[in-house]
Chain A
């Protein structure tokens, strides 16, 4: 990367921010920035986890929170985790509240990591700064497939739901990427294709929800996007899928850095553009699908987090993807915790919070015209 930068800094510098950045910063200071960024992200994540466990619409004495948390490993070892986490598992009201926050926090960590990495992967693989599973219609496709799957096979378990979701996000992603191949290949074109897919999928989803109210009762308010409804079984089912997805995207990260130089140069560096992109997009599809199955459609997180990291730390795809694993959960946890306390007595769903944060961010991005092609 540095070699390319020194060879042709003026020719490639403008179109390739990653190269320009590494040309400006010496390798040493870049490592310092990455290490500092990682430490900062870890601190942020730990703070966010603590806030998510200790803060809520009901004020709970911190000592009670501690006692519940310390009891949890014991409950896990005795194989009674589901009972311990189920509502009514604890004797005191406060303990119930805290016990409900634990799966919520775990869900937010998993979903946040999945969506942030999926967004960063999409941005890299489509070379489009507006990559986001929500904006490009992947989550809407996953929602439709879950509802359709449950309508056809009402007895499907958590694994079935996750598979439906992955299939749906694969189909939606194929349509959007296909539209990109057919001509709508700018950032604007992809986002508009995603908007069309989202609108179509939402229409069919709501018609199914209306037509089959009995079967789909649990999905009536699923469209909100919330991390508070999943139980231990669903989390346990989603975990292996998310790990596979993360590994796929991170494995393709090296290919993404080469792809940022253009398809021809990437081929020259020994990276097949099709194969590299396929691995990353495969991981992205799995991550978006499973995250949607777990928490409903959550948009803009995948857009927000990679841009934040690029702005504050560094621009290489590997760094952005790696840090997304930490920053994504932190941002989602903060959004969820703020949503709990911002409008008492009710809660604002985290899917609404991410949109409320993401829209001003996107508008600011558009106004500054940062790398938005076709504008």
Chain B
């Protein structure tokens, strides 16, 4: 005993050096991952804007941005390609950050706003706002927020005890039930709505970035400017909870209020993205595991958000180019490709089995 105590001081300098070095390595790696993801996002956005059924050359694109009018091209770029790419990117950022927060708070690989029915609740709120009160455009945002809050409340009612907090896996089942309820409300209300066509209805059932407008982009970007730093701070503050609630309290963090705020911010992020792009399935679920794998097991919320953006823009490229004649909604692609991925996560996670 005494010898080890006596030996320690000589070692600490070296040990803390090693720790600092390792932490520096990891920080550098995280920065590298984030830089790589920014580059990847730039590439997929460029592909989305320049290539596809209607190709635009880079000089043409730059002169259009500079204000020049090229017949045909200006309209396609400014009204269709550029807004879709930007809305896809910001919606993906919001979904990705929301997924990272939910994952951190609930500590389960399947905990994400799309599995917990939060996105469906937001979408149901927006559709109810349209069908019952005739809301349009950005007026749908408060309706979506209320819808997502109701969904979160139902999930919590199913799973949280008064003193124990959220326990076990029940919140996942409650989420599946809430998602079913939201989907039923959406289909029932949409059957009544005089929508222009199936295309418009699918924005709210599966999600699509085709309804991109300048005001939607500006609004969601503004929301992200406020919420992303806040969620990054919450994400870092909750890092200790990954060690378990007892140890987290022992290390001086107050997990319960922080967790509650983090859940609230995650819900608002998901609802904001849903209000402009619909419930893009599995984006929030998939972005965190992908980002964690890229970051060698160190989850960074910025990397998750950027991964979400890359996923949505890539899915939009596939959706608009997969079938020659039809422009599919983005959510169809994320849903079809995300379902096998969810099954894979489910089978890998021993927590649920």
Q: Which residues of A pack against B, CB within 8 Å?
A: 130, 134-135, 175, 179, 182-189, 191-197, 199-204, 206-207, 209-211, 213, 220-221, 223-224, 299-300, 346, 348-349, 351-352, 355-356, 358-359, 362-363, 366-367, 369, 372, 374-375
Contact = CB atoms under 8 A, between A and B. Distances in A.
A239 B20 CA distance: 73
A134 B181 CA distance: 12
A207 B328 contact: yes
27 contacts: A183-B347, A194-B176, A195-B179, A199-B281, A199-B339, A200-B335, A202-B335, A203-B334, A203-B335, A203-B336, A203-B339, A209-B198, A210-B326, A220-B198, A348-B188, A352-B187, A355-B180, A356-B181, A358-B177, A359-B180, A362-B173, A366-B158, A369-B170, A372-B170, A372-B173, A374-B353, A375-B168
User: Which 5 pairs show the lowest CB-CB distances between chains A and B?
Assistant: A200-B339, A203-B335, A355-B184, A196-B342, A207-B332
B99 interface: no
Nearest to B322: A207
Contact of A206 (B172, B184, B206, B340): B206
A130 B157 CA distance: 19
A206 B206 CA distance: 8
Contacts of B181: 355-356, 359
A179 B339 CA distance: 13
A346 to B, nearest CB: 6
A184 B346 contact: yes
Contact of A196 (B169, B188, B339): B339
Contact of B169 (A352, A359, A375): A375
B174 A363 contact: yes
Nearest to B207: A203
B169 A300 contact: no
A189 B109 CA distance: 13
Contacts of A375: 167-170, 173
Interface in B158-211: 158-159, 167-170, 172-174, 176-181, 184-185, 187-188, 191-192, 198-199, 202, 205-206
Interface string B145-162: 000000000100111000
Contacts of A359: 154, 177-178, 180-181
Interface of B: 110, 115, 154, 157-159, 167-170, 172-174, 176-181, 184-185, 187-188, 191-192, 198-199, 202, 205-206, 281-282, 323, 325-326, 328-329, 331-336, 338-340, 342-343, 346-347, 350, 352-353
A179 B188 CA distance: 31
A224 B191 contact: yes
- Main secondary structure, interface of B, reads helix
A354 to B, nearest CB: 9
Residue of A183, A204, A359 with most chain B CB atoms under a 10 A cut-off: A359
A199 B335 contact: yes
Given A199-B281, A199-B335, A374 B184 contact: no
B83 to A, nearest CB: 21
Contacts of A193: 343, 346
Contacts of B329: 206-207, 210
Contacts of B328: 207, 210-211
Given A192-B172, A200-B338, A210-B329, 12 more contacts: A186-B353, A189-B352, A191-B172, A195-B179, A203-B335, A223-B187, A299-B184, A356-B181, A359-B180, A374-B169, A375-B170, A375-B173
B177 A362 contact: yes
A358 to B, nearest CB: 8
A119 B157 CA distance: 25
B177 A192 contact: no
Contact of B282 (A194, A199, A223): A199
A221 B197 CA distance: 12
A375 B352 CA distance: 9
A203 B328 CA distance: 10
Contacts of B326: 210-211
A349 B191 contact: yes
Contacts of A356: 181, 184
A203 B184 contact: no
Contacts of B173: 130, 187-188, 191, 362, 366, 372, 375
B316 to A, nearest CB: 14
Contacts of B339: 196-197, 199-201, 203
B332 A203 contact: yes
A260 B167 CA distance: 28
Given A200-B336, A204-B336, A207-B328, A135 B168 contact: no
A207 B319 CA distance: 10
B352 A192 contact: yes
Given A199-B342, A362-B173, A184 B187 contact: no
A152 to B, nearest CB: 16
Contacts of B198: 209-210, 213, 220
